[in-house]
Chains A and B, each alone.
Chain A
Amino acid sequence: MKKDIILAGVGGQGIISIASIIGFAALEQGMYLKQSEVHGMSQRGGDVMSNLRISEQEIASDLIPFGQADMIISIEPMESLRYLPYLSQEGWVITNTQPFNNIPNYPDLDKVIAEIVNIPHHIVLDADTAAKETGSPKVANIVILGAASPFLGMTYEKLENAIRHIFGRKGEEVIELNLKALKAGRVFAEKQM
Chain B
Amino acid sequence: MQKLLLLGDEALAQGALDAGLSGIYAYPGTPSTEITEFVQHSEYAREHKIHSNWSTNEKTAMEAALGMSYTGKRAMVCMKHVGLNVAADPFINSSITGANGGLIVVSADDPSMHSSQNEQDSRVYGKFALIPILEPGNQQEAYDMVRYGFDFSEKYHVPVLIRMTTRMAHSRSGVALKPPRKQNEIQMPKDLRQFVLLPAIAKKRYKKLLQDQPAFIQESEISPFNKYIDGSDKSLGIIVCGLTFNYLMENFPDRKIPFPVLKIGQYPIPRGLVERMANDCKELLVIEDGYPVVEELLKGYTSHGLKVKGRLDGTLPRDGELNPNLVAVALGFKDTFGSAVPELVVGRPPQLCSGCPHIDSYLALNEAMSEFSKGRVFADIGCYTLGALKPLEAINSCVDMGASITMAKGAADAGLVPAVAVIGDSTFTHSGMTGLLDAVNDKSPITVLILDNGTTAMTGGQDSPGHGKIENICKGVGVEEAHIRIIKPLKKHHEENVQIMKEELNYSGVSVIIPRRECVVAVNKRMREKFKNK
Contact = CB atoms under 8 A, between A and B. Distances in A.
Interface of A: 10-11, 23-24, 27, 32-47, 51, 58-63, 65-69, 78-79, 81-82, 84-89, 91, 102-103, 105-108, 111-112, 115
Contacts of B33: 39
B323 interface: yes
Contacts, number: 156
B353 A65 contact: no
B491 interface: no
18 contacts: A37-B172, A39-B33, A40-B114, A41-B114, A43-B350, A45-B352, A60-B246, A61-B247, A61-B324, A65-B323, A66-B323, A66-B325, A78-B344, A82-B345, A85-B338, A87-B339, A102-B351, A106-B346
Contacts of B30: 39-41
B5 interface: yes
Contacts of B34: 39
B265 to A, nearest CB: 16
Given A42-B115, A46-B351, A65 B173 contact: no
Given A65-B336, A84-B339, A33 B174 contact: yes
B316 interface: no
Nearest to A106: B346
A85 B341 contact: yes
Interface of B: 3, 5, 7, 30-31, 33-34, 114-115, 167-168, 170-174, 243, 246-250, 255, 323-325, 328, 335-342, 344-353, 383, 386, 458-460
B323 A33 contact: no
Q: Nearest 9 CB-CB pairs, A to B?
A: A40-B30, A67-B336, A40-B115, A46-B350, A60-B249, A61-B250, A44-B350, A36-B171, A87-B338
A162 B324 CA distance: 30
- Chief secondary structure at chain B's binding surface: loop
Contact of A40 (B246, B336, B338, B458): B458
Contacts of B114: 38, 40-42
Contacts of B171: 34-37, 51, 62
Nearest to B339: A84
The secondary-structure label for the interface of chain A is mixed
A112 B344 contact: yes
B346 A81 contact: no
A88 B5 CA distance: 27
Contacts of A66: 323, 325, 335-338
Contact of B338 (A23, A37, A61, A84): A84
Given A60-B250, A66-B337, A103 B170 contact: no
A33 B172 contact: yes
Contact of B352 (A24, A44, A81): A44
Given A46-B348, A65-B328, A36 B170 contact: yes
B60 to A, nearest CB: 22
Contacts of A79: 348
Nearest to A6: B338
A84 B34 CA distance: 30
A82 B351 contact: no
A31 B174 CA distance: 10
A102 B348 contact: yes
Given A33-B172, A39-B33, A45 B167 contact: no
Contacts of A23: 5, 172
B423 to A, nearest CB: 17
Contacts of B352: 44-45
Given A40-B459, A60-B246, 6 more contacts: A40-B115, A41-B458, A44-B351, A61-B323, A81-B341, A115-B342
B167 A46 contact: no
A10 B351 CA distance: 11
A2 B336 CA distance: 18
A174 to B, nearest CB: 11
Contacts of A47: 347-348
A106 B350 CA distance: 15
Contacts of B335: 66-67
A103 B348 CA distance: 7
B344 A27 contact: no
Contacts of A39: 30-31, 33-34, 115, 170, 460
Nearest to B385: A41
Contact of B339 (A35, A46, A85): A85
A65 B323 CA distance: 7
A62 B246 contact: yes
A94 to B, nearest CB: 15
A88 B338 contact: yes
Contacts of A81: 341-342, 344-345
Contacts of B383: 44
